[in-house]
Amino acid sequence: VQLQASGGGLVQPGGFLRLSCAASGSIFSFPSMGWYHQAPGKQRELVAAVTSGGSTDYTDSVKGRFSISRDNAKNTVYLQMNSLKPEDTAVYYCNGWQFGANGRKYDYWGQGTLVTVSS
């Protein structure tokens, strides 16, 4: 499965963006999918995740501003980002994982999409 992230760009503080992560195959069996971000000089960290059952989790800095969702029929995960702040500037990566027939966990990563929040 390949993941293709899109939707990044330049936006002013207070603005919004919607990121999309399209999978080349079915994500139905993926227990969880998420979005990570990595700012310059910092480690990649989890921003939001959504389980196959629809439960969501967010890092504290984006709670109330970001919303993650998944559409299994379209094999796509979305990240709606509202009230953007300069500190949200980063490359955003989508991630999904599943267990293989051998019981091993397999991680899949998109290529990243740059979000820049600046006036």
pLDDT digits (tens, 9 = 90+) for 10-48: 999 999 999 999 999 888 889 999 999 999 899 999 999
pLDDT score, position 100: 87
Predicted confidence band at 83 (pLDDT cuts at 50, 70, 90)? very high
pLDDT score, position 26: 84
Judge whether residue 92 has pLDDT over 90.
Answer: yes
Q: Give me the amino acid identity at 58.
A: Y
Residues sharing a CB contact under 8 Å with residue 48, sequence separation 6 or more, in sequence order: 34, 35, 56, 57, 58, 59, 62, 66, 67, 68, 79
